[in-house]
Amino acid sequence: MDELRQRASQAIDEGHSIIVLSDRNVGLGRAPIPSLLATGAVHHHLSREGTRTRVGLVVETGEAREVHHFALLIGYGAGAINPYLALETVQGMSESGLLNGHGPDYACKNFIKANEKGVLKVMSKMGISTVQSYRGAQIFEAVGLEQGLVDEYFSWTPSRVGGIGLEAIEHETVQRYASAYDDIQVPGNGELSLGGFYQWRRGGEHHQWNPDTIAILQHAARTDNADVYKKFARLVNDQSRRIATLRGLLDFKRDRSPVPLDQVESAWEIAKRFATGAASLGSISKEAHETMAIAMNRIGARSNTGEGGEDYRRYNRR
């Protein structure tokens, strides 16, 4: 990382106005620095030196393939991104006849357009209307990164729960490298893993929504059986303790003295501050919409109906 930053400074001293951060040369014996880490490192290093405005950053990476990836790279200083591996994959799918006869150029344009629209959607949610304002704004919050790493490479990004550092990132990078290149040297052992990042796969990444939890929830709903639902709730809560959620990292302090009840706010008063998420009639079913409203009315809380409002048949006529 130090060498990468030094070479960026040297490029500016030599009069270059564009720096390309590329992982194209990855191969046997060469594992890539994660593109976001490299981008954040160079961006903040040059900002500290006071030379960031003298150069543009172009990121050429095989990692970027989703809207979130592009949003992060731009948010941490990238002025342009070349997702070469994603584009080559789309081109290969087209040439293999997997895209309903659409040609490579058409398919790649669709991929680019879809991700551009996705980034615009992210920007609009933050009230930002131009890429120039979004670039380098780093309007993110880190989850699972230690503060020292964030301060060094993603400065001024909130990180409230701590997490892994540079050594763990290096370890994961080496693991990915090994899974990609070790198999190549073994004939007949070049199959890709199923992954399981987006949905459950046997032997893949852990998901709270898996065949067991879904089956139990469906059984509870179809039989209206409270005991079965409690079994579902226990299973989900137990999984949260397996570090599937942030709340799985938390626990109650049990060594504290009880607070006198006359100093505790009543449940009724606390519930008044509850509110449902905005959900218009039509975005969810009539039954779900009414159930949410009934629940909020019963506890004295607020039911947020969203932009679409309530079903007019529920209005009180005077």
Which DSSP string do the residues of the chain spell out, in sequence order? -HHHHHHHHHHHHTT-SEEEEE-TT-BTTBPPPPHHHHHHHHHHHHHHHT-GGG-EEEEE-SS--SHHHHHHHHHTT-SEEE-HHHHHHHHHHHHTT-STT--HHHHHHHHHHHHHHHHHHHHHHTT---HHHHTT-----EEEE-HHHHHHHSTT--EEEEEE-HHHHHHHHHHHHHHHHTGGGSTT--PPP---SSS--TTSS--SSSHHHHHHHHHHHHHT-HHHHHHHHHHHHHHIIIIISGGGG-----SSPPPPGGGS--HHHHHTT-BPPP--BTTB-HHHHHHHHHHHHHHT-B----TT---GGGSPP-
| Residue range(s) defining the domain that contains residue 281 | 264-314
| 119 found inside a domain | yes
pLDDT of residue 225: 96
| 192 found inside a domain | no
Same domain, 270 and 299: yes
| 130 found inside a domain | yes
Same domain, 268 and 244: no
Same domain, 217 and 276: no
Same domain, 108 and 73: yes
pLDDT of residue 245: 81
| 116 found inside a domain | yes
Same domain, 91 and 218: no
| 121 found inside a domain | yes
| 169 found inside a domain | no
pLDDT of residue 318: 61
Digit-by-digit pLDDT tens for the chain (318 residues) are 999 999 999 999 999 999 999 999 998 889 999 999 999 999 999 999 999 999 999 999 999 999 999 999 999 999 999 999 999 999 999 999 999 989 999 999 999 999 999 999 999 999 999 999 999 999 999 999 999 999 999 999 999 989 999 999 999 999 988 888 776 555 555 566 777 888 888 888 888 888 999 999 999 999 999 999 999 998 888 766 666 788 877 788 889 898 999 999 999 999 999 988 888 888 888 898 889 889 999 999 988 887 777 777 877 766
pLDDT of residue 28: 86
pLDDT of residue 178: 87
Same domain, 11 and 51: yes
Same domain, 132 and 82: yes
| 41 found inside a domain | yes
The number of distinct structural domains making up the chain is 3
Same domain, 27 and 136: yes
Same domain, 105 and 220: no
| 70 found inside a domain | yes
- pTM (2 decimals)? 0.80
